[in-house]
A and B are shown apart, each in its own frame.
Chain A
Amino acid sequence: MGVDTPSRRAARLVCAGILVLIGVAFLAPLIWLVLSCFDASAQTNVKFPDHPSLDNFRAVMNTDMLWRPLWNGLLLCGGSALITVLIATFAAYPLSRYQTRFRKPFLYTVLFATGLPITAIMVPVYGLFVRLQLVDSMPATALFLATTSLPFAIWLIKGFIDSVPISLEEASWVDGASPMQALRHIVVPLIAPGMSVVLIFTFIQAWGNFFVPFILLQSPEKLPASVTVFTFFGQYGAVAYGQLAAYSVLYSMPVVVLYLIVSRTMGGAFRFAGAAKG
């Protein structure tokens, strides 16, 4: 990179300095979370705990507060992620392989649907759930969550299938395999890494989703952690901030770990952001 003049070295130092400042600014709000979860008497201020302890974690680690909401979240989000990937793969296969007149409009509609604000349809969806008597039903909520991520998943998985050469399947058709057998034995093993990324990202999205279960579920024993954290701490005064911080850490842990796994093994968001560009 050319000649290193003093002015250029100064410019580099300024750039690095600005980057460090941005990093510090992004880190600052997180410091409270990390310090408070070890401080039983934590308030909203940043303070190193006088007596660092795990008391906050112990206080929230019980069935009602933590274990059942986490389990509910796992059922709800794991269920919806599995449904999404399964149904999206089925739908993506004919869309990738057969030319029909409605294919293109359908794909454009799917892409269009990925952009619609899901928040906006929650009022009518609640109305629908009341009509069908599905309010407070976990399977129905999981199915709705799956539908919201379906357009994006179909779009991505169709892209993966497009990249599998059709000649492989043609060989199996000659041997008498049906398209569905070809999908299962030839295509799915080849696109499995892509499918698992879609699975994990759908799960992460659902895990962080507060609004959908907040509207569609009501019984406290059915709520996932995203809503429980709000009902326990957000709605009442005199908040136990230390416990809130500890709970937030425990609730965030699964998605942070999953994100790390994806980004380590797949190049993660870089590739994912690339895939999202079409």
Chain B
Amino acid sequence: MKFRTAIAGEDLAAAALGGPTSPRPGRAARLARSTRQLPLAPALIMLILFFLGPVLWSIYSSFTNAALTGDGAANPQWVGLENFRRLFSDPNVTNGIWLTVVFVVGSAVIGQNLLGLAIALLMRGRNRWLRGTVGAIVVSAWVLPEVVSAFIWYAFLGQDGTLNQVTKALGIGSQDWLYSSPMLAVIIANTWRGTAFSMLVYNAALADVPLDVQEAAELDGASGWRRLWSVTLPLIRSAIVTNLMLITLQTLSVFTLIYVMTAGGPGFASSTLPVLMYQQAFKFSEVGYGTAISLLLLAIGAVFSFVYVRVLKPEA
């Protein structure tokens, strides 16, 4: 009964808002109206089964000692907050949180964002050929599959790699960058891989900045930096916010690049949360504990995603 009134209410709302309703609400029409949301069903089922389900299951199993093999796999025991207590006293996890922050700030907020903005700004007013060539090179780094980028950087930074060839030629000496500074290595690789996205977003945003505003500021005697800081950047503020949120969310979940380049090593020196989660769940077969780590990652992502939706305020 309640269900039927709910549907009737919807129809009233639909009629009031100019939605398609038939003039005579007969039995058939009512049926048609209640079935017209039906095309949503497959999407809903998939999202519930593969998205919501696993998230809810992970909340449950993070309170158990579920494991891939052995006793924990057959009948997981309820362990309460044990996994979380362990989580925040585990130096690898606190280290992983710190490395994730370093990775996101270093490669997304500073690397991709600033470099992408710089390239987009530098491209303005350059000739077509230079714009096109540099743009194509930067985009090609973005188009390549992640595993391939990881191999390319593995070769580039290795003991006999290109970078050491250059530093040796300059007389600085060589080192195995993946071993001596793994975080710097993966940050540079991820910056290389992701900058194109920021560049494209800022190219599009800058194209909307009217030229006469620039010229007016120039006539008022504003210097280049001044014009950038007080005229151009405020005009593309919403693009900057959107871009920062998107690349932060993308970078939070980077696994493949780090896993192929360093496998989280040496030791745990580049085990960001996604890599640590994988290691705990699949390498050490502790699914319950790995799930607790993945919940932590999910919670951080959820906060950023929530802020993103609020900032974007789309007209749904």
Contact = CB atoms under 8 A, between A and B. Distances in A.
B3 interface: no
B43 A32 contact: no
Main secondary structure of the interface of B (DSSP, over half): helix
Given A43-B160, A98-B36, A127-B66, 13 more contacts: A18-B118, A19-B126, A91-B44, A98-B19, A100-B13, A100-B14, A120-B274, A120-B301, A124-B294, A204-B143, A229-B151, A273-B200, A273-B204
A93 B58 contact: no
A143 B305 CA distance: 24
B209 interface: no
Contact of B39 (A93, A204, A230, A234): A93
Nearest to B275: A119
Contacts of B119: 19, 22
Interface in A88-130: 88, 90-91, 93-95, 97-101, 103-104, 107-108, 111-128
Contact of B312 (A43, A119, A234, A278): A278
B126 A117 contact: no
A16 B126 contact: yes
Given A2-B215, A101-B9, A229-B148, A117 B252 contact: yes
B314 A278 contact: yes
Contacts of B20: 97-98, 166, 169-170, 173, 179
Contact of A20 (B130, B148, B282): B130
Nearest to A208: B145
Interface string B19-61: 1100000000000100011011011101101110111011001
Q: Which residue among A94, A207, A269 has the maximum number of chain B CB atoms within 10 Å of its CB?
A: A269
Contact of B36 (A28, A94, A117): A94
B105 interface: no
B234 to A, nearest CB: 17
Given A12-B125, A111-B309, A119 B137 contact: no
Interface string B54-94: 11011001000010000000000000000000000000000
B162 A143 contact: no
Contacts of B19: 97-99
Interface in B100-159: 115, 118-119, 122-123, 125-126, 130, 133-134, 137-141, 143-148, 151-156, 158-159
A274 B205 CA distance: 9
A46 B158 CA distance: 11
Interface residues of B, number: 104
B298 interface: yes
Given A101-B9, A118-B253, A146-B46, A127 B316 contact: no
B55, B155, B156: residue with the most chain A Cβ atoms closer than 10 Å: B155
Nearest to B292: A123
A138 interface: no
B204 A274 contact: yes
A241 interface: yes
Contacts of B204: 270, 273-274
Interface in A1-53: 1-2, 11-12, 15-16, 18-20, 22-23, 26-33, 36, 43-46
A89 to B, nearest CB: 8
Contact of B192 (A26, A46, A147, A276): A26
A65 interface: no
Interface of A: 1-2, 11-12, 15-16, 18-20, 22-23, 26-33, 36, 43-46, 87-88, 90-91, 93-95, 97-101, 103-104, 107-108, 111-128, 143-144, 146-148, 150-151, 154, 166, 169-170, 173, 178-180, 204, 207-208, 210-211, 215, 226, 229-230, 233-234, 241, 244, 248, 251-252, 255-256, 259, 269-270, 273-274, 276-278
- In the A-B complex, the 4 residue pairs with the smallest Cβ-Cβ separation, listed nearest first, are A115-B305, A117-B253, A124-B58, A91-B43
Nearest to A183: B39
Contacts of B122: 15-16, 18-19, 22
Nearest to B50: A147
A208 B255 CA distance: 12
A95 B271 CA distance: 41
A37 to B, nearest CB: 11
B1 interface: no
A226 B162 contact: no
A252 B144 contact: yes
A92 to B, nearest CB: 9
Given A46-B162, A252-B144, A121 B58 contact: yes
B274 A117 contact: yes
Contacts of A16: 122, 126, 130
A87 B139 CA distance: 30
B96 to A, nearest CB: 13
A30 B147 contact: no
B55 to A, nearest CB: 6
